[in-house]
Amino acid sequence: MRGFTGKEQDVKFVKHLIAQAFVMKKMYVICDSTIVDEAKDLLSLPRGSNNLAILLESKNKNGHIDDSKQL
């Protein structure tokens, strides 16, 4: 999901995907560097697929990727 803002509707949507996507293998969550801590909370959610890798990427104010974490 590109442009993850941490707003309620974004969080609900990503939670739904994580829990219900039984065959998904990778999910990219790309967010602004100011909400990385909120986005990290998604990494601890129970997953519908045991094979799901969630990749969290943060972008700085220039739009460049600062960090990438895979869990």
pLDDT for the residue 61? 61
**What's the pLDDT tens digit per position in 36-66?**
888 888 888 999 999 999 998 887 666 555 5
Q: Round to whole Å and give the CA distance between 31 and 50.
A: 24
Q: What is the dihedral of CA 63, 1, 6, 36, to 10 degrees?
A: -50
Residue 49 has phi, psi (to 5 degrees) of -115, 130
User: Of all residues in the chain, what percent carry a pLDDT higher than 70?
Assistant: 83
For residue 60, count other CB atoms closer than 10 A to its CB.
12
pTM of the full structure: 0.74
Which H or E element spans position 57?
strand 53-59
